[in-house]
Structure 1
Amino acid sequence: MTPYEEIRVPVAGGELAALRWPAGEPGAPVVVALHGITANALSWGTVAGMLAGRVTLIAPDLRGRGASAGLPGPYGIAAHTDDVAALTEALGLDRVVLAGHSMGAFVAALAAVRHPDRFGPLLLVDGGVGFPAPTHLSPDELMTAVIGPAMDRLSMTFADRAAYRAFWQAHPAFAGDGWSPEVDAYIQRDLTGEEPAMHSTCRIEAVRTDGVGLFDDEVLSAVRKLPVPATLLWAARGLMDEEQGLYDEKRLAVARLGDTRVEPVAVPDVNHYTVLTGGAGAREIAKRLVAVANTPVPGNA
């Protein structure tokens, strides 16, 4: 595991927890990285290892998850953008590269639109771009259809940490070489409570509010209003390692990204999780983060 430090910064209602993997050299660029809807900051642990100190990586536990689970509402994508802006302000950061995975990518896109002076280029990882959804489903039904298994986990209890590990190791997305010490640390950060009734740190009301918010017009339109360039790294396979991923060529064509500042790039042989937590996906993310973080941002001194 790549060493990191735990930090806290003031936000509305309390303090936001974050992890910081320092760069090997002073003055190195900074990347702020945002996790998915039922994840936590350590989902970026594999990427941190691949970065090998070439940039400083800061990943918050978003409001209602991990060590930020105690933060009160209101929740929602807009609330996360304000928290991320407050994080960069508290740390004295300006025009940092912003990365996001899954829901975190939607937060990143909206943050760039709402706070254009705080963020530079974006890296969106299997998220951030909406596509037409069935009109006969309500937002709550749509969310259940997409992340139903993840939501189910939030109501479950586990006898101990070994039981939680076994639960995740049985997940199709982490089969074979999808498991690693970094993945284990990431899922264990999500577990809290006392044996024999341990449970996820994720607050169900936060996840539900955020999930419904992903279908809000302001959130969906953010990628069409970006003041900075962005790259979308999309996984070939889905949340349960199924052949249909969240994105494919057809869905991206419908999204008309040619009218935006987003460049889509396929990442083969990964699923929605391993595009971030697996070796091949994390290596691709790290390569692109180093490149964009070292590219001068117009407007910086």
Structure 2
Amino acid sequence: MTEVRHVAVDGGTLAVELRAGTTAPVLAIHGVSSNARLWNWLHAAAPDLTLVAPDLRGRAGSFDVGGPYSLEQHALDMLAVLDAFALDRVTVCGMSMGAFVAVTLALHSPDRVHDLVLVDGGFPMAADGLTPDAVRAAFAPQASRRDRSFADVDAYRDFFLAGPTLLDAADPLLTDYLAHDLGDDGRVRLAREAVLADAVDTLLHPPPWQQLTVPTRLLTAQWSVGPDSAPAYPEAAVAQFRAGLPALESAQQVAGVDHATSIMSARGADAVRALLT
């Protein structure tokens, strides 16, 4: 059973999904163009986990919450969520940009974070030569989802799965995830500026990971987008993180998954479950 609560933040109200289980709550933070149903696969792999999963401002149930958009603002929003749920100190699991938000939260308020599980994110990605304009151009296709209307979730799924992907079009968890994106008017509830501003902040202004003090576990994908693509985190980069951060307790790669399916698949979700239970 999923319960939706609403949490007041600067500029509006966040929608937060609570999936009650038998464990201590885990704050689960989705990525740049995603929503709270990103954790469908983790819930399926570990239904005993208690997940507190917000839609970040500018996305899905929190679409009406405007800017500013930044890692720091999202971290402040997550503190409001913890306060609203009366959670003193929690495990935080973040995927992609959500992992960067998780790191920012742990640096800002280490007393509120018990430990971190970072899924293909949280540490700097290669950004040599990138400019804000180049990042915005790269993320423009994701940001443009708001610009069109879809007749139903099937039409949106066809659009969403265009291009290289390991996602399973027949997966009902994917259908539920995509349905959560759509408003009653058939348009995607995703603010263009939320995607673009957050992408720039994530890639060009990552948090100072070397200052982390809470126990941290990193999970990376073998590929970035589709089979045989270069990973977001090559082995040499992961080795650098391990050497530079005593708090990084483990770093492992999940074979046979790309960035999206590092959580949006049974294989990826099971690997995340293993780090949380």
TM-score (norm 1): 0.85
Aligned residue among 76, 81, 101 for 2:95: 101
Q: Identify the residue that residue 200 of structure 1 maps to in structure 2.
A: 188
Q: Identify the residue that residue 182 of structure 2 maps to in structure 1.
A: 191
Q: Identify the residue that residue 267 of structure 1 maps to in structure 2.
A: 254
Percent identity over the alignment is 35
Give the match's secondary structure for 1:233. strand
Q: Is the 8 A contact 2:140 2:196 kept in 1?
A: no
Once residues 33 and 178 of structure 1 are traced to their aligned partners in structure 2, the CA distance between those partners, rounded to angstroms, is 24
Q: Identify the residue that residue 137 of structure 2 maps to in structure 1.
A: 144
**Structure 2 residue identity aligned to 1:229:** P
Q: Is the 8 A contact 2:223 2:258 kept in 1?
A: yes
Residue 210, structure 1, aligned to residue 210, structure 2: no
Query: 5+ unaligned residues in a row in structure 2: which ranges?
Result: none
Residue 246, structure 1, aligned to residue 237, structure 2: no
Q: Is the 8 A contact 1:64 1:206 kept in 2?
A: yes
**Deviation at 1:150?**
2.3
Residue 153, structure 1, aligned to residue 145, structure 2: yes
Paired positions, count: 275
CA distances 1:280-300 after superposition (whole Å, capped 9, x unpaired):
11011112111xxxxxxxxxx
Q: Is the 8 A contact 1:51 1:287 kept in 2?
A: no
Deviates further, 182-191 or 151-160: 151-160
Q: Identify the residue that residue 257 of structure 1 maps to in structure 2.
A: 242
Q: Identify the residue that residue 31 of structure 1 maps to in structure 2.
A: 26
Q: State the 4+ residue runs in structure 1 displaced beyond 4 angstroms.
A: none
Once residues 50 and 68 of structure 1 are traced to their aligned partners in structure 2, the CA distance between those partners, rounded to angstroms, is 26
Give the match's secondary structure for 1:189. helix
Aligned residue among 14, 24, 46 for 2:12: 14
CA distances 1:127-148 after superposition (whole Å, capped 9, x unpaired):
011034222x312313533x45
**Structure 2 residue identity aligned to 1:67:** G
Once residues 232 and 209 of structure 1 are traced to their aligned partners in structure 2, the CA distance between those partners, rounded to angstroms, is 25
Q: Identify the residue that residue 159 of structure 2 maps to in structure 1.
A: 167
**Structure 1 residue identity aligned to 2:6:** R
Once residues 178 and 278 of structure 1 are traced to their aligned partners in structure 2, the CA distance between those partners, rounded to angstroms, is 11
Give the match's secondary structure for 1:199. coil
CA distances 1:240-287 after superposition (whole Å, capped 9, x unpaired):
44521211213334x443111223210101111111010011011112
**Structure 2 residue identity aligned to 1:139:** P
**Deviation at 1:178?**
6.4
Query: 5+ unaligned residues in a row in structure 1: which ranges?
Result: 291-301
Q: Is the 8 A contact 1:276 1:282 kept in 2?
A: yes
Once residues 41 and 250 of structure 1 are traced to their aligned partners in structure 2, the CA distance between those partners, rounded to angstroms, is 32
**Deviation at 1:106?**
0.3
Once residues 35 and 163 of structure 2 are traced to their aligned partners in structure 1, the CA distance between those partners, rounded to angstroms, is 18
Residue 75, structure 1, aligned to residue 62, structure 2: no
Give the match's secondary structure for 1:141. helix
Once residues 212 and 170 of structure 2 are traced to their aligned partners in structure 1, the CA distance between those partners, rounded to angstroms, is 35
Give the match's secondary structure for 1:265. strand
**Structure 2 residue identity aligned to 1:212:** V
Q: Identify the residue that residue 115 of structure 2 maps to in structure 1.
A: 121
Once residues 73 and 104 of structure 1 are traced to their aligned partners in structure 2, the CA distance between those partners, rounded to angstroms, is 17
